[in-house]
Structure 1
Amino acid sequence: MSTTNRRSFLARGAALAAVPTAAVLADGALAGQASAATLPDYAPIPPSALGPAVNAQGYYVGRVEKNLYWVTDGTYQAAFLTTREGVVLFDAPPSIGHNLQRAVDEIAAANGVSNKVTHLVYSHHHADHLGASSLFGRHVTRIGHTEAKKLLARDNDPARPVPDITFDERHTLHVGGERIELAWHGTNHTPDNVYIHLPRHNTLMLVDVLLPGWVPFDSFNLNEDVPGSIAAPAKAMSYPWKHFIGGHIGRLGTRQDMVVYQQYVDDIVENVKKALVTVDPTPYFAKYGDNVWAAVKEYQAAQVAYASDPVIRKYTGVLAAADVYTASTTFVILESLRLDLGVESQVHA
């Protein structure tokens, strides 16, 4: 394995660092120890889903447009804008960590501009996107949504200092002759997730909604507001942009990526609505009797399979990991349609 490929492999594994490699039983025996022979097979990843290879230090930095750059380790993404007054950084994922400054240094040296990070914009409060914030010291001006400040104060994580500047709905950041438009359009992935628009650079950054070239992560990206997350892409498309930074995986996005993602989610929604009226609950409750949870589990599994199987077939080879996480996303959307929107909610006569 070459150094670059090895670094790429390690970088992609960084997101899984907190997951145990094997379950441990109470008596200390290993359970379910994995091997290549026992792990399941999944569909190949479409080449279109993959981004550029990372370098020997485990990162890739490239130009988005003009003086806007993006950084990735193959799993997480951040971005930065060089200005005559310093550098504005957008998010600080811990998996990229010190490579963020290395990427800034690389670009600054090549272009003869300052490498000093003066501002750090928070997309939202989650540690996987902000856990390297403290690396940039106390003198960096941090900007985030009002709710982000509340949540970070609650979490009391020294790695994620609370923002110095907050806003409720909109804020325009002017640094070194550059303009950055920040906006909150309602809850989606989290209550504080914001739209970061750089109009002079034809770029929109919206984290944990669209993961370009891929289906959402487990359980619909662990979204806290499913209807808000379903609505987010249309709000994103209302902005003029050419380049999209989604915060995850190894490449930038395009407007066509957003179109495909919207259709993917729409297909799940439509199939869930069909499943809610088509799958008969009778055999499940007849078999399990008083064990209501068993009946519900198997009934909903049948609904999820009914709704997700056609979507998996349609998008395998189009979106990476369609066969990996579509079912879990379908379950979350099914529950949201039932509980948030009242689809097929029936009042007992």
Structure 2
Amino acid sequence: MQLIRMFSVLFLAIGGLACGQPLVHDEHEVVVRDSVKLKIAPGPSDPQIQFAPLPSAVDSVAIDPTLGYFVGNLGGGVYWVTDGSYNNMFMVSTHGVIVVDAPPTIGHKLLYAIGNTTRLPVTHLVYSHLHADHIGGASLFNASHPTIIAHAETRNRLATLSPLDPLRPLPNVTFEGDYTVSVGNQTLELSYHGPNHTPGNLFMYAPAQRVAVLVDVIFPGWAPFTELGVADFVPGLIAAHDVLLTFDFDVFVAGHVAQLGTKHDVLQQKKYIEDLRDSCASALNGDMTDAIGPTVAANPGNVWATPKALFRVAAQICADNTTSRWLGVLGAVDVFAFENAYRMVNSLLIEYDVPGPFSVA
């Protein structure tokens, strides 16, 4: 629980970027900057870390400090809740409430948000995926005995925990492909399109309200959190952008950052991650002999020293090049630039088969 609180604090403290105003665009045009001078953020040993200022693309809602949370009405009985770092959604029907996720950082505030909106009980709880930072507050709904719904892979992974986590009760309804939650006059469509952030991570869509939900993949207005949102399978993460764009939505609810998104945000992040991928592939295929030479020479016989140096140099080159083009377009591009590039470098090596210096001799 302490780790979750630290994670939330870290998320709230993310710095960001901006060099002037973002360029003008329409919904289907994605633009990046290509001439911003970048200085990678200092390391953890520095006494003070100063990141670039946030651009106007970061438009977080104001959180009432007394309440500690914000509830937004998306229309048609759909609401989203945020504590400034974590988000979730609930739907009020004529017969009960459907809740999507229960982040422990929001915790009991989620009960207040729902209770101040309706007197109807929570009858259904949907797990977006297995991670505790998004469903670790699920046990708060035990009193109403909701039907808990998740992808089969989510249940399988939760069931491997020993002992079972009482804060994340096992779902009692699972599915493999698609599943429709129907309660009273509300409908929420769940679908699975393969692993991305995690195996079992769901696409969720409220067709009547044209609201889409996908957790830990898209970060509206912001660059992705560290290691591409701690992505389990980067090719699936990248493909998820195109899958999400097939849904006919006006509003997008993300798992993090205190702002809603649109299709433009999905297109913008897709462009950023593709740029990151291409930049890291270029770095891997470049000549890094001189850059890693001193590390190799200083560690004779240490078989881990060479790949460590190579991964670090390739990631830094990729981070520098990509961030210089996106500083001022997405929030906090400089904060996790290296970590995101490092994850992409490793994905290219083992998931995409871009072997670089590890090619067949």
> What TM-score results when the alignment is normalised by the length of structure 1?
0.86
The equivalent residue for 2:126 is 121
CA contact (8 A) 2:251 2:261 kept: yes
What one-letter code is carried by the residue in structure 1 that aligns with 2:336? Answer: Y
The equivalent residue for 1:135 is 140
The equivalent residue for 1:277 is 285
Structure with bigger helix share is 1
- What is the Cα deviation at residue 302 of structure 1? 1.9
1:245-256 pair list within 5 angstroms: 245-256=253-264
How far apart are the structure 2 equivalents of 1:219 and 1:209? 11
- What is the Cα deviation at residue 347 of structure 1? 1.3
The equivalent residue for 2:157 is 151
What one-letter code is carried by the residue in structure 1 that aligns with 2:151? Answer: H
The equivalent residue for 1:338 is 349
The equivalent residue for 2:83 is 73
The equivalent residue for 2:172 is 164
What one-letter code is carried by the residue in structure 1 that aligns with 2:330? Answer: L
Per-residue CA deviation, residues 300-320 of structure 1 (Å, 9 max, x unaligned), is 222112212122122222111
The equivalent residue for 2:103 is 93
Q: 2:57 is paired with a residue of what secondary structure?
A: helix
How far apart are the structure 2 equivalents of 1:73 and 1:213? 17
How far apart are the structure 2 equivalents of 1:285 and 1:293? 14
Q: What runs of 5+ residues in structure 2 fail to find an aligned partner?
A: 12-43
Between stretches 51-60 and 275-284, larger displacement belongs to: 275-284
What one-letter code is carried by the residue in structure 2 that aligns with 1:165? Answer: V
Q: 1:200 is paired with a residue of what secondary structure?
A: coil
Verify: 1:300 aligned to 2:311, yes or no.
Answer: yes
CA contact (8 A) 1:12 1:74 kept: no
- What is the Cα deviation at residue 51 of structure 1? 1.6
How far apart are the structure 2 equivalents of 1:75 and 1:12? 11
Q: What runs of 5+ residues in structure 1 fail to find an aligned partner?
A: 1-10, 19-33, 109-113
- What is the Cα deviation at residue 170 of structure 1? 0.6
How far apart are the structure 1 equivalents of 2:258 and 2:287? 39
- What is the Cα deviation at residue 50 of structure 1? 3.4
Verify: 1:174 aligned to 2:182, yes or no.
Answer: yes
How far apart are the structure 2 equivalents of 1:68 and 1:224? 30
How far apart are the structure 2 equivalents of 1:283 and 1:101? 54
How far apart are the structure 1 equivalents of 2:346 and 2:287? 15
How far apart are the structure 2 equivalents of 1:259 and 1:247? 17
Q: 2:72 is paired with a residue of what secondary structure?
A: strand
CA contact (8 A) 1:12 1:73 kept: no
How far apart are the structure 2 equivalents of 1:263 and 1:278? 23
Instruction: Indicate the RMSD between aligned Cα atoms, in angstroms.
Output: 2.2
How far apart are the structure 2 equivalents of 1:53 and 1:286? 50
What one-letter code is carried by the residue in structure 1 that aligns with 2:8? Answer: A
- What is the Cα deviation at residue 17 of structure 1? 8.2
Per-residue CA deviation, residues 171-206 of structure 1 (Å, 9 max, x unaligned), is 111111221110110011111101011111111111
CA contact (8 A) 1:12 1:75 kept: no
- Which of 248, 266, 277 pairs up with 1:240? 248
The equivalent residue for 2:8 is 15
Verify: 1:288 aligned to 2:296, yes or no.
Answer: yes
- What is the Cα deviation at residue 12 of structure 1? 9.1
Q: 1:305 is paired with a residue of what secondary structure?
A: helix
CA contact (8 A) 1:133 1:159 kept: yes
- What is the Cα deviation at residue 295 of structure 1? 3.1
CA contact (8 A) 1:279 1:303 kept: no
* Higher RCO, 1 vs 2 (CA within 8 Å, ≥6 residues apart): 2
How far apart are the structure 1 equivalents of 2:206 and 2:199? 22
The equivalent residue for 1:25 is none
The equivalent residue for 1:257 is 265
How far apart are the structure 1 equivalents of 2:338 and 2:209? 37
